Amino acid sequence: MEKNNKTSISRRSFLKTAAAAGAALTVQPAINRIKAANVALNGENVSSVKKDGMPHRTLGTGRAAFEVSALGFGVMGMTYNRSRHPDKKQCIRLLHEAVERGVTLFDTAIIYGPLTNEQLAGEALAEFRGRINVTTKFGHEVIDGKATGRQDSRPATIRHYCEESLRRLRLDVLPMFYQHRADPSVPAEEVAQTIADLMKEGKVQHWGMCEVSAETIRRAHAVCPLTAIQSEYHLMHRLVEENGVLGVCRELGIGFVPYSPINRGFLGGGINEYTLFDPTNDNRQTLPRFQPEAIRANTRIVNVLQQFGRTRGMTSAQVALGWLLQKAPWIVPIPGTTKLSHLEENLRTLDFNLTPQEWLELETAVAAIPVVGERYNAEQQRQVGG
């Protein structure tokens, strides 16, 4: 009996210890997530909080502040520009999986499809209104469901697009409305004033601009405080570090949302010079950086990310996303995917906590390799002011 008791006590204490160790193992990734989401270079203040196990960050400051999950979800590729798409049911299921995992920022635009992407986001996500945010964008002209290739940011058009987006997204108020591309005939101040009016009317909560200069940001922000700038930013395209855009965001307290954070899938390592992109529905086949010779040359960069990640248990996509996250606590990347495995992988980036020294080592190794091919073709480059 005594012996039995001893056995059971020691078994009990073993189970207790094992349970504690198990709990520690489960708690650790969550702690790492918070740490990793909070790490920032330049000694800036931490702005994220933990909610439902998912770290949050704040885009913008003061009345423009907008709290969102540290990683968002780019919906675009589910219907537009990224080759084969899963059917609608699968897309809706995946968007729900993202909500379940704590993602609260979903990014779409009127031009994606056109219209089909907003329709999908509305159908899949309207039931979560109040809990998550769908951000959308105006600016590219769309007439009768077709893109004209022109920009239209006249006040009356913004108002009209706002009503149509509200209807497609099944919302009473847009959590955030971005100007997708500047309209050369409408000054930034006039766009900002139109948004300020829509805010007063309760139609729009926050606003942002895409691919604009530091000067335009200042002018627009003076009229109506911006919550975020959304421009391309990743290890193969660091223009916003050089052209003053990140600097002005830091100075004025505006958030930054890097789009195409995995460089349209390239930094995920699954694309090679033989990859075929659907000519009817994938803009990568029109981009200089996605031509076979450029892909062949730029694969050296992916190799650096893979090598860096290998000893740390990270995939190259996680290295790409982690590098962006550690740049500042007011940066929220929006990777897109059509696969649950990639969603999981991307969100797990938040479990890693590397030192600034390690990130610098990666950055330096990548910067030593010249990037081959422009990011955009001539027409797209014209729209981003190049």
Catalytic residues: 112
Distance of closest approach, residue 11 Cβ to ligand NAP, in angstroms: 43
Count Cα atoms within 13 angstroms, Cβ side, for 67.
11
**Rule CB under 6 A: which residues touch ligand NAP?**
74-77, 82, 107, 180, 210, 230, 259-265, 268, 270, 317, 334-339, 342, 345-346
CB of 332 to ligand NAP, least distance (A): 11
CA–CA dist 319, 86 (Å, integer): 26
Q: For the chain, what is the radius of gyration of the CA atoms?
A: 22
Q: 46 or 384, CB closer to ligand NAP?
A: 384
Give whichever of 56 and 375 is closer to ligand NAP, judged by the CB atom. 375
Indicate the residue among 50 and 128 with the shorter CB distance to ligand NAP. 128
What's the rounded Cα separation, in Å, for the pair 42 and 31?
A: 22
Q: Residue 200 CB, nearest distance to ligand NAP (Å)?
A: 26
Helix residue ranges, H only, the chain: 2-38, 88-100, 116-125, 155-169, 188-200, 214-223, 239-242, 245-252, 292-310, 316-325, 340-347, 356-367, 378-383
The vertex-48 CA angle with 44 and 54, nearest 5°, equals 145
- Min dist. Cβ of residue 128 to ligand NAP (A): 18
Task: For ligand NAP, give the closer residue by CB, 138 or 259.
Answer: 259
Closest CA to 179 of 171, 163, 190: 190
CB nearer to ligand NAP: give 46 or 213: 213
| Residue linked to tokens 């003076």 | 222
Q: In whole angstroms, how close is the CB of 202 to ligand NAP at the nearest point?
A: 25
CA distance 70 to 232: 17
CA pair distance 228, 179, nearest whole angstrom: 11
